[in-house]
Structures are given as C-alpha cells and as structure tokens.
A = this chain, B = another copy of it.
Amino acid sequence: MGNVFEIAVIPGDGIGPEVVAEAVKVLNFVTNGSENKVNLTEYKLGAEHWLQTGETLPDETLEALKKHDAILFGAVGAAPGDTRIPSGLIEREMLLKLRFSLDHYVNLRPSKLYPGIESPLANPGEIDFIVVREGTEGPYVGNGGSVRTGTEHEIATEVSINTAYGVERVVRDAFARASKRERKHVTLVHKHNVLVHAGHLWRRTVEAVASEYPEVTHDYLHVDAATIFMTTDPSRFDVIVTDNLFGDILTDQAGAITGGIGLSASGNINMDRTYPSMFEPVHGSAPDIAGQQKADPTAAILSVALMLDHLGLSAEARTVEQAVEKEITSRQELTDHRTTREIGDAIVSLLA
C-alpha cells in the first residue's frame, strides 16, 4: 500500500512561480500512477504577498505548514532597490523564520558539474561534492544590535552562536552522508585561527564524530583557503561541513563553478522529522527576468529529487535526477534558448 504525501508549495516571488510550476509538473508526473501520491497545497507568501497584506509569515500559516510532509519552495524577495519593502525583511521574517522554526539544521547543497555544462573554470576537473551547511545557528541567529544608531558613536554587533548540540548533529549528518559516498571524505571549513571559540567547538566535534566513522577520512580548511581550492582544485571536495555563513558563501561559489546557480538545488532538512523539511533552488527570485519564461527550472526540479529522497521515495528521486542529467547533457546540441516551460517539458518527456 502506498502513502499520500501532503506537500506545501510556496511559489513566492519573481521567477519562483515559473520554476515551481515545472517542478510541480515533474513531481506530479513521477508520482502519478505509482502507489505513492502527492497532495499539493499552495501557500501565498513572499514580497508580493507582504505588499498586499502586510504579512510575512503569520503564526497560523506556520502552524498549517507544520502539518505537511514537506515544503517545496520557489524563491522570495523584492526587486533590488524596491524601497517599499524594508531590505532583508522577507528573507528574515519569512525564509529564515521557516528554516529556524522548522529546525532545518541540515542545509544540504549538492554541487555537480554535469557533462555538457560549461564551467567558468579553465580546468574544472570532475566536480561532485555536497555541502552540509548548518542551518539554525552561527551568525544567522539574529543576535546583535546597535547603540547610538545613526550617530558617530554607533556600535553595531552581530553575535554568532554555536552550541555543542547544534554542531554535533550537523557534523554527524555530514559523516553519515560521507560514509555512503564513494570517496568517504569530510572537509571541515571554518576559521578557527581567528574565530577561536566557535572554531574549536567545530574542530573538537569533528574529531569526536570522526572516531565513530573509521572508514571516513577528514581534513580541515580555513574558509579563505577553501575559496582558493574551490577555484584551483574543486575535485578535492567530497563532503564539506561548515557553519551557516561560510556555507552560504561557499555554496554560491560552488554554484558558480558548476555552471551557475540555475542548476543548484538545496534541501533545508530536519533529520529528526519533528517538522517538515523544505526544498528550494539556491537561486533567488531574479525579478529582472521574472514572468518572461527565461529562468532555468532545473534547480527547482533537482530540489524535487532531494525532496523525494527525504520522503523515502529514492527510486523516484533517481528517476528525476537521471532525466535531468540526460536533459542537461543534450543541451550541448542546442543553440536556441529554451523557455522555462520547454525545459520542464523536456525533462518530463525524458521521464516518460
């Protein structure tokens, strides 16, 4: 007997609705006719919604979202320079609020250079790694403030908070994932020579967890050095585990070297399943190309694959990944720019 999965869909702003439409198409197709069904409920949230209603993420919406098995998320954010929306408001009060309220402690971001995709690197080599970014701590906790704001005596602080509990669970996740991969290697990225207290907590935790995984090797890189290797030798990476801010920076760089964040999927995962996990493309709402069918829905579709995996539908996840890989490889022969819908349709037809 199959399951019915309740999926919340948040298309959001800009290109969000366009790429999510294709992701939903793929999700429906791959579950249609199988014993597992999905039941989709759409939630209107984001900058547009805020402009219309003044709501970022009301408590009732958050409670309703909690009842789902997973969330498919597009993108949110106003056009840069849109002065009607306080800068960062939607990101913090909605996107980050979801990640924190639903305890998405594993922010999983795979990076792969697909055959047929041009990397901006001259000699990219084989790129196939995952970043396990901590999602609920670090400088993202919103702890900080300012005094004498706006005067010449202003002091503004930002506090990075790191707990043994929070670091251990994400490090454990990284080692567990590494143990299932071919190269079985974990790289901790931090800056422990400067950020001593947080850095040492991370290092000690990695050493402790590593001893439980004798088959997994591990090393350490300062974040500055990591950006060098990301440029000169990205094949050295297998599993990167890092804090919320360093993970933010490194995964955008990783997106760039693998041909653009139009292909980068991510999962905001609660491994304890106390709340639903959320799957979203790494890219933003790109208001400049919104509504023009110019966005690549691949990152959103690959996020569906991550979601299927998380729901235990691994066969379906592999099917989606393989169709995406085939579609990407076939791009070498294409010269015309295709619409968002055409790319979605091409992937669906490869699924068929």
* A98: min CB distance to chain B, Å: 14
Q: For A160, give the chain B residue with the smallest CB separation.
A: B158
- A198 touches B (CB below 8 Å): yes
- A257 touches B (CB below 8 Å): yes
A196: B residues at CB distance < 8 A: 88, 92, 142, 144
A194: B residues at CB distance < 8 A: 88, 91-92, 96, 139-140, 245, 248
Complex Cα–Cα for A249 and B201 (A): 21
- A344 touches B (CB below 8 Å): no
Question: Of B197, B250, B252, which contacts A158 at CB under 8 A?
Answer: B197
Complex Cα–Cα for A214 and B92 (A): 33
Question: Of B153, B223, B256, which contacts A164 at CB under 8 A?
Answer: B153
- A150 touches B (CB below 8 Å): yes
Range class of the A interface residue count: 35 or more
**Interface bits A110-123 vs B (CB < 8 Å: 1, else 0):** 00000000111111
Known contacts A162-B156, A231-B231, A139 near B224 by CB under 8 Å = no
Within 8 A of B (CB), among A129-153: 139-140, 142, 144-146, 148-153
Complex Cα–Cα for A158 and B152 (A): 24
Asked if B195 and A224 make an inter-chain contact with CB atoms under 8 angstroms apart, the answer reads no
* A161: min CB distance to chain B, Å: 6
- A28 touches B (CB below 8 Å): no
Complex Cα–Cα for A284 and B206 (A): 25
* A321: min CB distance to chain B, Å: 24
Complex Cα–Cα for A260 and B140 (A): 32
A146: B residues at CB distance < 8 A: 197, 200-201
Asked if A252 and B227 make an inter-chain contact with CB atoms under 8 angstroms apart, the answer reads yes
* A208: min CB distance to chain B, Å: 10
- A338 touches B (CB below 8 Å): no
Known contacts A121-B121, A150-B204, A158 near B195 by CB under 8 Å = yes
- A339 touches B (CB below 8 Å): no
A161: B residues at CB distance < 8 A: 155-157
Give the one of A123, A140, A149, A156 with max B CB within 10 A: A156
* A227: min CB distance to chain B, Å: 4
Q: For A203, give the chain B residue with the smallest CB separation.
A: B87
* A221: min CB distance to chain B, Å: 10
Give the one of A142, A228, A249 with max B CB within 10 A: A249
Known contacts A88-B192, A121-B121, A252-B225, A157 near B231 by CB under 8 Å = no
Could you jot down 27 A-B contacts, CB within 8 Å? A87-B192, A96-B194, A120-B123, A120-B231, A121-B121, A139-B158, A144-B198, A146-B200, A148-B164, A153-B164, A154-B164, A154-B201, A155-B161, A155-B163, A156-B162, A156-B163, A156-B198, A157-B159, A158-B162, A223-B248, A223-B249, A224-B248, A224-B252, A224-B253, A231-B256, A232-B256, A249-B249
9 nearest interchain CB pairs?
Answer: A88-B193, A224-B252, A154-B164, A231-B256, A227-B253, A156-B197, A158-B160, A156-B201, A228-B256
Besides A139-B139, A224-B248, 11 new A-B residue pairs in contact (Cβ under 8 A), listed by A number = A88-B199, A96-B194, A120-B232, A139-B158, A139-B160, A153-B165, A158-B159, A158-B197, A227-B227, A232-B256, A253-B253
